[in-house]
Amino acid sequence: MATDKNLELFERARALIPGGVNSPVRAFRAVGGTPRFVARAQGAYFWDANGDRYIDYIGSWGPMILGHGHPRVLEAVQKAATEGFSFGAPTEREIELAEEIVKHLPAVEMVRLVSSGTEAAMSAIRLARGATGRSHIIKFEGCYHGHADALLVKAGSGLATFGHPTSAGVPPEVVQHTLVLEYNNVALLEEAFATHGADLACVVIEPIAGNMNFVRASVPFMRRLRELCTQHGALLVFDEVMTGFRVALGSAQSVYAKAIPGFKPDLTVLGKVIGGGMPLAAFGGPRAVMEQLAPLGPVYQAGTLSGNPVATACGLATLKEITQPSFFPALAKKTQALVDGLKAAASEAGVPFAADCEGGMFGFFLLPELPQNYPAVMKSDAPRFGKLFHGLLDRGVYIAPALYEAGFVSSAHSDEDIARTVEAAGEVFRSLRT
């Protein structure tokens, strides 16, 4: 029997790196088995240490909207690298990337580039607190905004409660101003604003939550949230690290603007696609709020590698490609074909299955209908998902190795890739029935 190089690498990694990985979900703890160590990637595929090829539906958790190794992106990165890796001083490309972001997001008049989604969300909340002079914030159970201390909290049951840390190392007093509510629950939202409205600096939300798989904020919920924030002077912060330039050219906020006339968030957090696979993120909003940032205002934020010249080259080249008029209609068509195919295959096999998608982002649940909040998501069949995951993996299809993560389609995925994926899923679904 051939040696499993993935297992060899995992054993080496576990001796030196906690859990053998540098981000927890990569460890396969939720599904069991040995993580695949990627040797290389191209287009819609990656190859592991054994040389086995997989159709990739995580795409570095969203950034690879063009697939891996897009020639024009690769050319831009290679050219930038020859000019210098990092300067600690401004470059023109930072301005060009900011211009591209502002062009497509009407809610954003100014933007600050940073290096990670965690950094961007943390900074946006600090800015909201500085701009309003208030301390309290609202987040929603099941939404992930990075691993900043104040955001690592969960909800109590029943009525709205202030959160308690969900990570060791986070003192309770750090999260004492973080209120955690149930996603898509208008009644709790209204109660929270009635009780704490005068003290709320902001509400931070994933408009389409991608960390409890794929759950949309309903239009009535989002409309009421916008109304309450405006009424009470709290800033509405859209965490679009995952959805930004992924679900639409105008991001998720443009999807809600179509349903809610005049809709805009106050602050927007971006990441993933705007870096094209490089460490790059951003937050932005109206000029009057953004000018509260240092060096113009009293809210401090800084970063040695912010606006890194190689990362901005990668992000700018990626954004130039996805702004082509036909790009998002074609991407959405592929993603919808995948979702429709999976639904049909599950239905034929008699397996409970619900799925949804927007643009190049999708999610599914082994449930008879789409959940609307975290408690409903938690009812999904975890053991059956583990079997589905490994069944697909054995057939060369790589989806998220966790029940509560969204998936991503790239422009590099072909119709044949989609068909092969649906065929593989059908085989696994039939095995789950018995």
Active-site positions read 144, 239, 272
**Amino acid (1-letter code) at residue 332:** A
Return phi, psi of residue 365, to 5°.
-135, 140
CB-based contacts of 272: which residues, under 8 Å, 6+ apart? 60, 61, 62, 63, 117, 241, 242, 244, 246, 281
* Cα–Cα distance, 237 to 264 (Å, whole number): 10
Which of 44, 6, 79 is closest to 396 using CA atoms? 44
Neighbouring CB atoms inside 10 A of 239's CB total 33
CB 97 within 8 A of CB 315: yes
Distance CA 203, CA 180 (A): 10
Q: Are strands 361-365 and 407-408 parallel, antiparallel or unpaired?
A: antiparallel
Contacts of 262 by beta carbon, 8 Å cutoff, 6+ apart: none
- The CA distance from 221 to 142, in Å, is 16
Query: Nearest to residue 239, comparing CAs of 163, 306, 145?
Result: 145
Residue with tokens 């001796």: 15
Residue 415 has φ and ψ, to the nearest 5°, of -60, -35
CA distance 134 to 390: 48
